[in-house]
Amino acid sequence: MKKEEVPQDKSNLASANIREMMYAVDENGKYTTSLSTGWDPKTIALDNAIKEIEERIALAKERVANNQTSPIEYYMELHKMDLTVLASYVGLWKWRVKRHFKPSVFNKLSDKTLQKYADVFDISINQLKTFNGGAS
Amino acid sequence: MAEHLKIDFTHNQAAHCENGVVSNLMRHNGFEISEPMVFGIGSGLLFSYLPFLKVNYAPVFTYRSMPGFIFNKFAKRTGIKMKREKFTNPELAKKRLDQNLANNNPVGLQVGVYNLIYFPDEYRFHFNAHNMVVYGKEGDRYLISDPVMEDVTSLTSKELEKVRFAKGAFAPKGHMYYPTAFPEELELKSAIVKGIKQTSRDMTAPVPIVGVKAMKWVAKNIRKWPKKLGTKKANHYLGQIVRMQEEIGTGGGGFRYIYGAFLQEASEILKNDQLMELSKEMTSIGDAWRDFAVDASRIYKNRNAESSGYDDVAAQLEALAAREESFFKTLKKSV
């Protein structure tokens, strides 16, 4: 890549005042560095990944409203986690976390266990328990 | 410790965090070592495909070696001694950090990105192999030199604890590291040769999950994805490849440009003209990776439309594999 070709596309890096450093060659063929504001092919990939996560969050919310899963799964998605990451944060086996997705199991969880999840999600036990996905 | 403690540390922005931390710590200790030099000597360049390991609901593709590997190899090959510490107790981790700062010693930290508040939201994933330098403390705020940022920044002790004790794959466990002893003169020449030899070996290794073999495997799978997984998932996977290739820190083209810069510098140090020619070829390979990203992005741009470009990008990847195979075979013999 030549220095003048270092892309300066619009991206959400600007929101945090970040420009990233790229390596490129100058007119004499010598390597140098140059700052980039973003590059469309990458931005699209990132936007798609974010949309994917938003869809997962919306779906989890709907499933909570329909009593098909517990609020734990919703907050897991909200925090861009998967089962492996969440299990690691709460210090429980994956199969146990998965079991806590069942509304019937969730409703019987001790405050001690609920507190672990609440701490990871940075909310109160009450917020965790009362989240109903918008169901009336 | 004193509440105002600022070590005289120069922040230089880098493309990649780990190289940047090492390069900045070396400069702090009086050794002028560039980021590409750290990357090349530490054999940072790689390609690897781990289809059985999923991150963000897609397989793992990586264009670099394992976190921590670059500094380890770099230190070993240049004759530097370094200390690494990991902790189970956050209080102890904080205490050891404070002690180092009080001793006027800036340290490298491995951290998770998800709770790194100065990153844009969209970039905050559960990725635990980010690196930064802490070079002081003012009140409750730690002074941070994050190599991918243009300027220095700071985090409260609580914010810093959160990122040092992020969980999940590659959990940092408070990981702190710094060089402790240096040789009188760095053994650069032999270190460069060792770095090049290993990268050439790894890239042409007869193992399906690394190097050019892995690239060929990915290409083969790309052809199957749309039928096997459906367009949506296939596009998600393709997007993941491009993100890993071009994420912050790669310097563009999946680290190939940084490696080109390394070969150029190495050519001068070793007085080897062939390396200069190979640097040009590496740049051209990097350009081909960028073209691959552009074409892949055309496919996943329209998320739900039927796309027929998979075979094309797969063919591009196969061509890249062939080029890199011949490149690294030549590179191996050039030093």
pLDDT at B146: 96
Q: Which residues 52-81 in chain A show a CB within 8 A of chain B?
A: 52, 79-81
Q: Do B242 and A20 touch (CB under 8 A)?
A: no
Instruction: Evaluate whether residue A135 is within a structural domain.
Output: no
CATH of residue A122's domain is: 1.10.260.40
pLDDT at B307: 61
Instruction: Evaluate whether residue A28 is within a structural domain.
Output: yes
pLDDT at B259: 97
Low-confidence stretches of chain B (pLDDT beneath 70): 1-2, 303-307
Distance CA B214, CA A120 (A): 37
Query: Any idea which of A50-54, A89-93, B51-55 has the lowest mean pLDDT?
Result: B51-55
What is the full DSSP assignment across B86-130? --S-HHHHHHHHHHHHHTT--EEEEE-STT-TTS-GGG--S---E
Q: pLDDT per residue over A103-124, tens digit each?
A: 999 999 999 999 999 999 999 9
pLDDT at B320: 98
Structural domain boundaries enclosing A13: 3-38
Q: Do B122 and A81 touch (CB under 8 A)?
A: no
A63/A111 same-domain check = yes
Instruction: Evaluate whether residue A136 is within a structural domain.
Output: no
Does the domain at B4-33+81-181 match CATH 3.90.70.10? Answer given as yes
A68/A106 same-domain check = yes
Domain count within chain A: 2
Distance CA B216, CA A8 (A): 32
Beta bridge partners of A34: A22
A55/A12 same-domain check = no
Q: Which residues 70-129 in chain A show a CB within 8 A of chain B?
A: 79-82, 84-85, 88-89
List CB contacts (< 8 A) between A49 and chain B. 56, 236, 239-240, 243
Q: pLDDT per residue over B70-97, tens digit each?
A: 999 999 999 999 999 999 999 999 999 9
Chain B, nearest residue to A81 by Cα:
B126
A63/A16 same-domain check = no
Closest CA to B290 of B232, B246, B331, B329: B246
Closest CA to B185 of B29, B79, B39, B72: B79
Instruction: Evaluate whether residue A20 is within a structural domain.
Output: yes
Q: Do A45 and B239 touch (CB under 8 A)?
A: yes
A55/A122 same-domain check = yes
Sole residue written with tokens 């190979």: B278
pLDDT at A13: 87
Q: Quick check: A39 contacting B, CB < 8 Å?
A: yes
Chain A, nearest residue to B263 by Cα:
A31
Nearest CB to B294: which of A41, A52, A85?
A41
Q: Quick check: A22 contacting B, CB < 8 Å?
A: yes
Q: CA–CA distance from B106 to each of B7, B99, B103 (Å)? A: 7, 10, 9
pLDDT at A1: 94
Beta bridge partners of B142: B137, B155
* Contact status, residue B45 vs residue B69, Cβ threshold 8 Å: no
Q: Quick check: A44 contacting B, CB < 8 Å?
A: yes
A113/A90 same-domain check = yes
- Under DSSP, is residue B143 helix (H, G, I), strand (E, B) or coil? strand
* Contact status, residue B11 vs residue B24, Cβ threshold 8 Å: yes
Q: Structural domain boundaries of chain B?
A: 4-33+81-181, 188-334
Best of B257, B268, B294 to mutate (most A CBs within 10 Å, chain A): B257
pLDDT at B304: 59
The DSSP output letter for A26 is -
CB atoms within 10 A of CB A25: 21
Q: How many CB pairs under 8 A join A and B?
A: 129
A93/A57 same-domain check = yes
